[in-house]
């Protein structure tokens, strides 16, 4: 088995330094550094996302993608959003995520970091 170097996301160091172990023994760093998991970024224009997400300890799991969504073919159902415009959303509730997304709606484009497990 060949270990290929992982392409880093823009703010990988910041995300990992904030990702400690919580009271349940959950450790985001183990998931992040597992070579079987893929981390990627997708950039989408401002406006509605057309996503349904659910909060998990790892991040916001994509449950549904509208066919007209700007994220269609960029993110998949089951992928986990871990950051928006370099803001860590690991472990946040859906309401906090949507507030963050709406505050950035006036930007020309937004950058989402996601995890494919």
pLDDT above 90 covers what percent of the chain?
Answer: 39
Asked if residue 96 is part of any domain, the answer here is yes
Number of domains in the chain: 1
More confident residue, 90 or 13: 90
Q: Please name the residue that has the structure tokens 């007209």.
A: 68
Asked if residue 25 is part of any domain, the answer here is yes
Q: How far is CA 35 from CA 12, 45, 50, in A?
A: 15, 30, 30
| Residue 50: domain span | 12-116
Asked if residue 99 is part of any domain, the answer here is yes
Q: Which CATH number is 88's domain given?
A: 2.30.42.10
C-alpha–C-alpha distance, residues 111 and 25, integer Å: 29
With 80 as the cut, is the pLDDT of residue 97 above it?
yes
pLDDT reported for residue 4:
39
């Amino acid at each position: 088995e060949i270990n290929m170097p992982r392409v880093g996301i823009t703010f990988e160091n910041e995300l990992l330094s904030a990702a400690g172990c919580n009271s349940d023994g959950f450790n985001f760093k183990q998931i992040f550094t597992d070579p079987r998991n893929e981390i990627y970024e997708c950039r989408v224009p401002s406006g509605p996302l057309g996503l349904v997400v659910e909060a998990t300890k790892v991040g916001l799991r994509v449950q549904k993608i509208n066919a007209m969504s700007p994220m269609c073919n960029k993110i998949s159902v089951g992928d986990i959003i871990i950051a928006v415009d370099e803001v860590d959303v690991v472990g946040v509730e859906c309401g906090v995520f949507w507030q963050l997304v709406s505050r950035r709606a006036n930007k020309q484009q937004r950058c989402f970091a996601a995890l494919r497990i």
